[in-house]
Structure 1
Amino acid sequence: MIGRRKDDHVRLALEQQRTNSGRNQFDEVSFVHHALAGIDRADVSLATTFAGISWQVPLYINAMTGGSTKTGIINRDLAIAARETGVPLASGSMSAYFKDPDCAGTFSVLRTENPDGFVLANVNANATTEQAHRAVDLLRADALQIHVNTVQETVMPEGDRSFSAWLGQIEKIAAASDVPVIVKEVGFGLSRETVLTLRDLGVRVADLGGRGGTDFARIENDRRGPADYAYLHGWGLSTAACLLDAQDAGIPVLASGGVRSPLDAARALALGASGVGVSGGFLRALLDGGVEALTALISAWLDQLTALLTMLGARTPAELTRCDLTVHGDLRTFCIDRGIALGPLAQRSRTVHAPRNLTGST
């Protein structure tokens, strides 16, 4: 039954990728163009460091799948693409492995095919510390994701209905883990209040996992008999909103959910993300064109992201947070309602470049 559900998730996620309107709130974030900001491409590095973690690139393949024969093949191909491009790679939820150890290979293939890469294991917030250790051990994982997904579980016909223990379990896992713990949403977003709570629980990093990409409320509703939770389609905070909301929350954040292009990745990094995760778009490339197509797409994204940093005058992903941004539309309204000051965001470069007069004195 779990394997069938995992296959359903992949099928329905792919259908969403092919039918989505293509717009989300990243479109309401714009860089202020400074015509003389550009630097030399040779001076740009994509390396990023956060919470003691060092990645050569700020892009990663985020959690997708595992637990069935078909999804094991997908994980194999994702691992090959990660190996060939050097991007970190996260497992899908490993709950299926805890219930049926025979499906371990559909997850461990991530490490088998990518022996030297950065791999993240993934468990739910009901997992025990023993299960968390088993997940990390199976993948020889470099970090552990704990996913939180109350909306998905609520709509899922066979989903959890009890969530009050999650805070305690997250704290226990974070305290017992030998690798950094990252808590992620699955597409409904983490508010500032949630990120602050995670920080206090000992979580090292928050993956904001906002609205704008795959909608798991819609997926689970499509799996029901009567599709009676349609009113929850589109629930949650967009990834751009989460990034603005979580500024200076005290722990590093990763951005995932609705990242459609290298420009979205640059926007997310400029809004404060230490890394940017992609799932749906990469899944579509893989299933439509195979591992070669996915590898080519990731390579193109990394090349274009380097080009964007060069154009914007950022030598590293972290320096994108010095670039000026303007916020429009509903996202601007969200910021006003949440008390988020947008003026400084549009004037950040003024604190980097001192004014110079025509005589050369400063």
Structure 2
Amino acid sequence: MKDIRKRKTEHIDIVAKDASMDRRKFYFDDIRLTHRALPEINLADVDPSVEFLGKKLSFPFLISSMTGGSDEQIRTINHNLARAAEAEGVAMGVGSQRVMFSDPAARASFELRAAAPHALLFSNLGAVQINEGMTISQIRSAVDALNADALILHLNPLQEAVQPEGDINFSGLCEKIAEVVRDLCRPVIVKEVGAGISRADAELLVQAGVKIIDVAGAGGTSWSRIEAARSGDPSLGELFQDWGIPTPQALRELSDLDVTLIASGGIRTGIDMAKAMILDASLCGMARPLLTPAMESVDAVRAVIQRIRKEFVTAMFLLGAENVEQLKGNRSLILSS
């Protein structure tokens, strides 16, 4: 219990204090969009709202999974994020809830529904923990703690491989994910944590019944580098710090599959969001830009979300897109080379 609790606080401290953990590879900068000098729409009429899993969002923004645990700072972070998500009409995913199973006090950091009664909330567990004995009963308890709209099962083989105490048995995992999809009675989202989802893996997940995939590609926070900072021998984690499929590439590879895509990993602006939506994302996630504000206050988090929304709406206006339907999957908006 102590090791997991300590690891959570170490992760927060490392990410918050060391800017190099955010790799900022700017992969989205390689995509140029077609500027409309005559957009033929009124900026005031641009509507960035979307519906996801039956709930209306003010724009397609997800506060991506960050943390959870019994530490007071962690509880503050999650509650500030949840209140901001509610106030701004966006979605939120929590960090891994595995800590709940060994530290009952950690549950309070995930009991967020009172703070966000209408928000779209996602629970989160590591898929590999199913191979370590995590039961469907425990999975349901994690979802119930949050009263979540969906469950995220995250895939993190790189992080586990370089983590000193990592769980590395990923054998036969897809079949067990399929069992969770069948048994949970809530939507299951499968995501990576910064190395991307390949075409081959996405096809396996679709066959397993997964309907939503968060590609969570390379280009943003490197969990390999974070674990390197915790390790007594950082060489392995640093070697693999930029490993993975860039988020725009992952979106391109999966766009024709029968699956809803969430884009995260290296998205830092509303322009990045617009590009991800053009590449067929239905929702765009960010975590690192919200961490420091979440340590401060709800208002600080809201200010960041409001800035990103304004950037996204401005990009839509300059592309001549009055609503998200005119943006999503519209490859004609990409400037040909």
Give me the TM-score of the superposition, normalised by structure 1: 0.85
1:349-360 equivalences under 5 Å are none
**CA-CA distance at 1:12 after TM superposition:** 1.4
Q: Secondary structure at the match of 2:110?
A: helix
Between the aligned partners of 1:232 and 1:141, the Cα distance in structure 2 is 33
Between the aligned partners of 1:192 and 1:54, the Cα distance in structure 2 is 29
1:139 lines up with 2:156 in the alignment? no
- Report if the CA contact (8 A) 1:38-1:310 is conserved: no
Match of 1:276 among 276, 284, 292: 284
Between the aligned partners of 2:78 and 2:91, the Cα distance in structure 1 is 13
Q: Secondary structure at the match of 1:141?
A: coil
Match of 2:229 among 217, 222, 231: 222
Between the aligned partners of 2:23 and 2:184, the Cα distance in structure 1 is 40
Between the aligned partners of 2:223 and 2:285, the Cα distance in structure 1 is 17
- Report if the CA contact (8 A) 1:29-1:325 is conserved: no
Structure 2 residue aligned with 1:245: 253
**CA-CA distance at 1:14 after TM superposition:** 2.0
1:195-234 equivalences under 5 Å are 195-229=202-236, 230-234=238-242
Between the aligned partners of 2:188 and 2:263, the Cα distance in structure 1 is 16
**CA-CA distance at 1:15 after TM superposition:** 3.2
Between the aligned partners of 1:82 and 1:49, the Cα distance in structure 2 is 15
Structure 1's unaligned 5+ residue stretches are: 327-344, 348-362
1:102 lines up with 2:105 in the alignment? yes
- Report if the CA contact (8 A) 1:51-1:205 is conserved: no
1:328-343 equivalences under 5 Å are none
Between the aligned partners of 1:6 and 1:49, the Cα distance in structure 2 is 32
Between the aligned partners of 1:138 and 1:152, the Cα distance in structure 2 is 26
Could you list the per-position Cα deviations for residues 210-245 of structure 1 after superposition, in whole angstroms to 9, with x for gaps in the alignment? 111110000111111121312111010111111111
Between the aligned partners of 2:244 and 2:299, the Cα distance in structure 1 is 34
**CA-CA distance at 1:58 after TM superposition:** 0.3
Between the aligned partners of 1:164 and 1:145, the Cα distance in structure 2 is 19
Between the aligned partners of 1:98 and 1:107, the Cα distance in structure 2 is 12
Structure 2 residue aligned with 1:331: none
- Higher Cα Rg, which structure: 1
Between the aligned partners of 2:23 and 2:262, the Cα distance in structure 1 is 24
Between the aligned partners of 1:94 and 1:19, the Cα distance in structure 2 is 23
Structure 1 residue aligned with 2:57: 55
Q: RMSD of aligned C-alpha atoms? A: 2.0
Between the aligned partners of 2:309 and 2:291, the Cα distance in structure 1 is 17
Q: Percent identity?
A: 35
Q: Secondary structure at the match of 1:299?
A: helix
How many residues align? The count is 327
Indicate how the Cα distance of structure 1 residues 290 and 273 shifts in structure 2: closer, same or farther if over 3 A, else same: same
**CA-CA distance at 1:283 after TM superposition:** 1.0
Indicate how the Cα distance of structure 1 residues 302 and 22 shifts in structure 2: closer, same or farther if over 3 A, else same: same
Structure 2 residue aligned with 1:85: 88
**CA-CA distance at 1:271 after TM superposition:** 1.0
Amino acid at match of 2:30: E
Amino acid at match of 1:246: L
Amino acid at match of 1:74: I
**CA-CA distance at 1:285 after TM superposition:** 3.0
Structure 2's unaligned 5+ residue stretches are: none
1:286 lines up with 2:294 in the alignment? yes
Indicate how the Cα distance of structure 1 residues 324 and 17 shifts in structure 2: closer, same or farther if over 3 A, else same: farther
Q: Secondary structure at the match of 2:256?
A: coil
- Report if the CA contact (8 A) 1:66-1:93 is conserved: yes
Structure 2 residue aligned with 1:186: 193
Between the aligned partners of 1:295 and 1:129, the Cα distance in structure 2 is 35
- Report if the CA contact (8 A) 2:270-2:312 is conserved: yes
Could you list the per-position Cα deviations for residues 318-346 of structure 1 after superposition, in whole angstroms to 9, with x for gaps in the alignment? 321325355xxxxxxxxxxxxxxxxxx84
1:13-32 equivalences under 5 Å are 13-17=15-19, 20=22, 22-32=24-34
Between the aligned partners of 1:323 and 1:34, the Cα distance in structure 2 is 15
- Report if the CA contact (8 A) 2:21-2:225 is conserved: no
Indicate how the Cα distance of structure 1 residues 129 and 315 shifts in structure 2: closer, same or farther if over 3 A, else same: farther
Structure 1 residue aligned with 2:7: 5
